[in-house]
Amino acid sequence: MKIEFTKEQFEKLLKVVYLGNWMANAIHNGSEEDPIHKEIEDIENYIFSFAKEFGFEKYVDDEDAKEGRFFPTNEFDELVQKYVEEYDDECFWDEIFYRLSDRDFERKYTNEEIFKMEMKDRFEKEEPFRKKWDDELNNHGIGRLEVKE
């Protein structure tokens, strides 16, 4: 099988593959205890290996090409950084909203009570906590969040 790409499509493919690998592997350090997802990194290296052929040598450092390893250049990294920042920002607000809402809900109801709830009933009981944190975070961001001792 052969897949053909225009130069524009290949540039988008570089971004997508890089971002996929970043999402899967940025949280791992590559040690035996915390390995990366090698199969995903291998796909990135494979796609990056064609960058020169498409005229994107400015995006890929091929110094270790003999070992089959290709790295994004600083220029490429800066190009895709906006996607990473948008993703991180959105994840932060989603996570803090759900974690605080769930925490407060779980403080009010025991695990046994929660387990016995019908889904519709649970959603209704969660709603005040969701509303509270939605209002707080939308109106004040993290400005009023404090750790009490």
| Tokens coding 41 | 């990194």
Average pLDDT over residues 134-146: 97
Alpha-carbon distance 6 to 50, whole Å?
A: 13
φ and ψ of 71, to 5 deg: -125, 150
Tens of pLDDT along 68-106? 789 999 999 999 999 999 999 999 999 999 999 999 999
What angle, 0 to 180 degrees and rounded to 10, lies between the N-to-C axes of helices 74-108 and 119-140? Answer: 120
pLDDT for 68 equals 78
φ and ψ of 60, to 5 deg: -130, 130
Tens of pLDDT along 15-61? 999 999 999 999 999 899 999 999 999 999 999 999 999 999 999 98
3-state SS class at 64 = coil
Q: What residue spans of 1-118 are helical by DSSP H?
A: 7-25, 38-48, 74-108, 111-116
65 pLDDT above the threshold of 80:
no
Angle (CA) 131-133-134 rounded to 5° is 60
CB 34 within 8 A of CB 96: no
Indicate whether this model's pTM tops 0.75.
Answer: yes
- Burial of residue 117 (CB within 10 Å: 0-12, 13-18, 19+) is middle
| Tokens coding 113 | 């009570």
Residues 6+ apart with CB under 8 A from 46: none
Alpha-carbon distance 83 to 135, whole Å?
A: 27
pLDDT for 64 equals 78
Q: Can you give the residue ranges of every domain in the chain?
A: 7-72, 87-140
Tens of pLDDT along 26-36? 999 989 999 99
pLDDT for 67 equals 81
Confidence band (pLDDT; 50, 70, 90) for 63? confident
